[in-house]
Amino acid sequence: MTSRRMILAVSLVLAAAFAPAAALADDVPTIAAAADLQFALTDMAAAFHAADGRAVKLTFGSSGNFFRQIREGAPFQIYLSADEQFVIDLAALGLTLDEGDLYAIGRIVLFVPDGSPLQPDGELNGLKTALAEGLVTKFAIANPEHAPYGRRAEEALRHAGLWAAIEGKLVLGENVAQAAQFATSGGAQGGIIAYSLALSPAVSSSGSYALIPDAWHQPLRQRMVLLKGAGDTARAFYAFLASQRARKIMRGYGFVLPGETS
Amino acid sequence: MDWQALWLSLHLASLTVLLLLPLAVLLGRWLAVTRISGLSLIEATLALPLVLPPTVVGFYLLVAFSPRSWFGDLWRQVFGGTLAFSFEGLLIASVLINIPYAVQPAQRAFEAIGNELREAAASCGMSWWRALFRIELPLAWPGILTGMVLAFAHTLGEFGVVLMVGGNIPGETRTIAISIYDRVQAFDDAAAGRMAAVLLLISLLVIAATLLLSQRIGKRRG
């Protein structure tokens, strides 16, 4: 390496080190959202940006992990949980502005990728038969330890009397979007995922699904809240999430809205 | 293509290398000549990030960064923010896990110089610093540079620790490796594929540059 090239390489490293990490826009809040909102909230953020001109940054993951991160001081300004208990607990810890608002009630579906020997039916009879015949080797759900959709999936499987038979075959997604990723990949014969994800083109194009009766599990009461330190943009977006425009998008992704029935 | 994440990764890797450079020179030099007892234990401790699962490192850092720990509390009192899920926390994590990648090649390079030369420099009346800059660094720099390149490349690729202590926040802790994971979960295979290809290309270039460099040095010496 000539000394000139050496100098070039060193100055590139120095430039990258001392330039700001990102073009810092003034007030672009980061929003932590349950993974079942992957598509719905992305659409709502785009609608907000089109209407208001301001932008928000979205991070999707498991509600339980976000709960932990917010408790450790993560700089989120809005938290949309798939399980309202996490929001209530954060409020009790004094980390939120108030107790937040119920924004949706989620549903779960049995998703079956194309080419799987499973037949999708919401009563899980096909799954029961396939399990008995040994046709199911892998079945995807979100991790029940910290992902609300995983907990509801476990409850539905227990209700159907399939838990003991399926427990050893479960592949656990870190959140429900990852479980959906596992289920659509074809590596698993099926999975229980969020209805909102099954309705998105990316997921529905790779298989079929059936709604699981909502009486089979605890309701997925999803609550959102403004966190301590929320700025003006976060507050405006939070208000937008309760607007008719946003509710219409939520309905389109299969969510039952508070005060409405499915 | 998430340019912000790529830029954040390059920024993180560059700062990591800058912070590690003086550490690698001084610690590598010291480890090469010292004869204190318990040296193996020190070397083993420094090499730990090579063998520890990233989740173990991530867990300990998360505990240390928490405002409930004395370190996290001290940081908050001095700097006002929390370390977990911040760029500063990510940088601290990155420096710690890259210590063996930076220090070991530097140590080997200083060991290769041999004590005769050091003694000769000292008997000529050269000060410690003067001998370091005039005699040892000109001989040891290829090893030090190799360490820096390794640390840089390793930072770009680090995933587990970043996910645990960073938490995937755009513009703050979402590095290119995390962004690929994020795009896969969003069923955005096209974007994930593009970013994976960019990372593959960068890694290939870095390795090729290192090999080329060592070849040229070999020729010059041979």
Check residues A15 and B123 and name the one with the higher pLDDT.
B123
Contact status, residue A151 vs residue A145, Cβ threshold 8 Å: no
pLDDT for res B219 = 67
Q: What amino acid is encoded at B195 in this protein?
A: M
Q: How far is CA A50 from CA A143, A229, A253, B75, in A?
A: 35, 25, 20, 40
Report CA dihedral (A49, A71, B62, B92) to the nearest 10 degrees: 50
Q: Do A72 and B65 touch (CB under 8 A)?
A: yes
Give the pLDDT band of residue A242 (cuts 50, 70, 90).
very high
B167, A59: Cβ pair inside 8 Å?
yes
The answer to whether residue A129 neighbours chain B at the CB level (below 8 Å) is no
Work out the average pLDDT over A22-47: 87
Q: What is the pLDDT of residue B218?
A: 65
Distance separating alpha carbons of residues A242 and A47, to the nearest angstrom: 13
| Mean of pLDDT over chain B | 90
The percent of residues above 70 in pLDDT, for chain A, comes to 95
Longest dimension (CA), chain B: 67
Chain A residues in contact with B208 by the CB 8 A cut-off are none
Tokens for B140?
A: 């040891």
Average per-residue pLDDT for chain A:
91
Per-residue confidence (pLDDT) for residue A72, from 0 to 100: 84
State the CB neighbour count (10 A cutoff) for residue B82: 20
| CB spacing of A72 vs B11 below 8 angstroms | no
Query: Residue B2: helix, strand or coil by DSSP?
Result: coil
So what's the ipTM on this one? 0.74
pLDDT mean over B103-131: 92
pLDDT of residue A187: 85
pTM: 0.83
Tens-place pLDDT, residues A204-234: 999 999 999 999 999 999 999 999 989 999 9
Question: Which residue type does B59 have?
Answer: F
Cα distance between residue B52 and residue B128, in whole Å? 36
pLDDT of residue B208: 87
Are A113 and A206 in contact by the 8 Å Cβ rule? The answer is yes
Give residue B222's pLDDT.
Answer: 47
Residue A83 pLDDT grade (very low, low, confident, very high; cuts 50, 70, 90): very high
Q: What distance in Å separates residue B3's CA from the closest CA in chain A?
A: 10
A16: chain B residues, CB-CB within 8 Å: 7, 10-11, 13-14
Tens of pLDDT, residues B133-180: 999 999 998 899 989 999 999 999 999 999 888 888 888 899 999 999
Express as a percent the part of chain B with pLDDT over 90. Answer: 63
Q: Which of A160-164, B18-22, B42-46, B201-205 has the lowest mean pLDDT?
A: B201-205
Please report the pLDDT score of residue A52 as a whole number.
94
Q: In chain A, whose CA is at the least distance from the CA of B85?
A: A74
Residue A6 has pLDDT above 90, yes or no: no
More confident residue, A171 or A14: A171
pLDDT at res. B62: 87
B221 has a pLDDT exceeding 80:
no
